Structure 1
């Protein structure tokens, strides 16, 4: 496979090498949308041309706030094809959280979902935050009979109709001008200070990671990839969409995970590749009656991670689902999601108990304090508008300080043993307690708070908030959780609340969270 180092170049090659091979199949919206690689390329050119016709310039930032559907890769690749920078937004954000990222990224356009699961993000944004939004807001219709387009938005078909022969020609020229060291995306990841950080990734960094991931999984045109990992996340975007473009693998998106929906697609679409959080495979394995009525024999590769993976889970995936290859990996947004991985040749103990060896193009080592350091092709350019945080994270020798504590065995396998940061993982999503603590500080009567992750059978870990209250304050768990739900994405909301008289502290006066657990 000839080398490419930008996403437009990868898409152009895919359309040339596999023009009639299915690139994407989406069965979710009342009728099946099936696009070959040549057809997907044409849709992407239309999206890029429509962006250009709407005034988007090279280097402009464009946000997407929408669940997995065929629109997402068209929009995302269209942003890149127009020479612009992609800004994915977590679909679990509240409108306020989404607007905060849109403003900080200085996005010049927003693709946003319409009615979906009882919410209408497009209508909500335009009704409550129009002054904070860019001029171009594109509504992605996800229901069979969408509601009227809210004032101030273009519907998806209307947006694409802005494409002309002239702007399509301009789009092709823009795509050819994208350089490997141009920014490809800004992914926002919460920080331990409570303020999310925008991770700046270049095309060459993004492509290096996506190629290493796909090569390790031995992706090919024979594969059909069930995409339950959200596209806004590195797992869905850089380990999903982009490897598929690089290796000609067919994408099958799923917006809302359920065991039945996933098994239906595995059977009907003859899915071969199925990455996801460990909890996903636990739900399928526990649904014995559902599995008995589905043919899952096409599955050949499962990739999981983001939490502790029991050896018995690996064994059950292989035995009960008949999957030959199970791989675990470790990464973080600051490295495009790729630091280390197991390989198809590794045994169950290695896959379950370690994160494998460094990805091709990466190297890992431990600091004197045992912190995991990573260096190589996938490490970010830095943080958006935050040179101090960048300097604190990437040292003078180019080592990325991950904030995780680990060990490396004689075979080079990395094992994460603890976290320097307080981050925990809920259902596959990183949660940073400081952000939640700052939110709870706005609740009248709360004098101080500390949030930790506690074990949960279904989600891996969930939040527990410990609070001290002002004298005379009448607050209970229900009211605290309701307040959190109003201001935070669901995965950040604590599942339990404990009122305490005082916090355990060290000599410096800092709260000792491990004593709370």
Structure 2
């Protein structure tokens, strides 16, 4: 039997033949599937004339935009590989990614033009396209000779090309990991990885063909792109697309557009809940609100439940495209804190991180491993990292520690690399952070290990707090002592204005440790 074509370019064309419906609502512009598909066809034809071929890499550097979608789907149209670049990276980091992936073509918004110009002589790109088709990010009138305007590739008189057929093993994109502990690695995601995630999501999440999905999380992040947004765009719904996250705008969009599906990281949901008017806002249309990407404080889930919004926790990584587990809405309160059960077409197991022995017992922590058609085939140009992450049986070793309850639901404990060893006892920061986040007046909590002459390491807590809240270490220990063993209690407490996070909303503990070195707390126990 012939393989099924799962090209997103072909899917968009099929949608364009259906009755007209807004596919994307972007910064005040309504864009139909027919119009989006026609732009993609023209873009693909223009890219082909510039020499972009199947397997070549085309990178996009800019904020959330329709051009992001157009570039991604035009790449698929030709069988090229899409490389979305984190728009918060510094020049050296962007240089590394563009060299590592061997980018043939760059599509860049005006706000990042000067950065690319500063490294242009050090990267292999043959074509530099400056976005001049988006009123939300107008281009300069006089760019240097390095640039071709994107509009020059969109001539309507080019003969349309048929999208190349794409199948499970065809490489779709390289998504570079956040690089919080070193150089980012290019996660190879195939069209099969992306497609099977959509099958998993549609099998267990209350998604529908006419969904209205709000996309405010960064699209270069797998959660922002492939949790709900891409499937909504290709299946027939409407994507309300914002260039970035603004809590007040988010609340207005949820209400004004009757948003039914929404993915965000915990920090975004927490910020949304602090917007004036949140308690009275009509969120009755919001059926599927998925939270993932970082540890989820149970109090956050309870706060939303009081608003009749049941946050549905999921777990995964860029390497799992993104979801490997999911907790249905009806279990949100009964299994608060759980990241759910394995997705229907994904396998999960726990192994001892030291011995590698499979763990079968309930309530025993181990490294969570994933296997399935949504799991990456490895890291681009990095066979050593691939071998370290994927074993001979095909299990991807996530580096996350979890335990499983007797009902088969998983609870993520922490990152293996963040574990603190205090007096020979293992302390998982996320466990401590969940308790501290419930302290009255504390908005966020982060925990790291610091050197200690007696215990090897002890726990240091960094808190962000409401105005007027400055808890002492004794007060924090007294509060947390009802929930945690003494060796897990903070011995130092620092209050900060904010916690360092990357564009995906993940806490960057390397930066936090540097900050703590400068702001050593005076108060210890």
Interval of TM-score (by shorter of Structure 1 and Structure 2): 0.7 to 0.9
Match of 1:36 in 2: 32
Match of 1:383 in 2: 379
Q: How many residues align?
A: 432
Match of 2:345 in 1: 361
Match of 1:73 in 2: 69
Match of 2:149 in 1: 155
**Residue 158 of structure 2 corresponds to residue 165 of structure 1:** yes
Contact preservation (8 Å) 1:192, 1:421: no
SS at match of 2:262: strand
Match of 2:498 in 1: none
Match of 2:126 in 1: 135
Residue 374 (structure 1) shift: 0.8
1:190–1:262 distance in 2 versus 1, CA, 3 Å: closer
Residue 394 (structure 1) shift: 0.8
Residue 193 (structure 1) shift: 6.4
Q: Give 1:41-440 correspondences, 5 Å limit.
A: 41-114=37-110, 120-141=111-132, 143=136, 145-151=138-144, 152-161=146-155, 164-166=157-159, 168-169=160-161, 172=162, 175-190=163-178, 194-289=182-277, 292=280, 295-320=282-307, 322-323=308-309, 325-350=310-335, 352-369=336-353, 370-422=366-418
| Matches of 2:257 and 2:319, distance apart in 1 | 34
Residue 147 (structure 1) shift: 2.2
Deviations 1:393-442 (A, max 9, x none): 1111111111111111122111111322239999xxxx9x9xxxxxxxxx
| Matches of 2:142 and 2:284, distance apart in 1 | 43
TM-score normalised per structure 1: 0.76
**Residue 20 of structure 2 corresponds to residue 20 of structure 1:** yes
Contact preservation (8 Å) 2:62, 2:109: yes
Match of 2:483 in 1: none
SS at match of 1:73: helix
TM-score normalised per structure 2: 0.75
5+ residue gaps, structure 2, are: 354-365, 420-428, 434-445, 449-456, 466-501
| Matches of 1:74 and 1:54, distance apart in 2 | 17
1:243–1:453 distance in 2 versus 1, CA, 3 Å: farther
5+ residue gaps, structure 1, are: 115-119, 434-449, 459-484, 502-515
Contact preservation (8 Å) 1:226, 1:271: yes
SS at match of 2:323: coil
1:263–1:368 distance in 2 versus 1, CA, 3 Å: closer
| Matches of 1:403 and 1:41, distance apart in 2 | 40
SS at match of 2:104: strand
Deviations 1:91-138 (A, max 9, x none): 111122112101110010111111xxxxx2113312443452512111
Residue 330 (structure 1) shift: 0.5
1:410–1:80 distance in 2 versus 1, CA, 3 Å: same
Match of 2:494 in 1: none
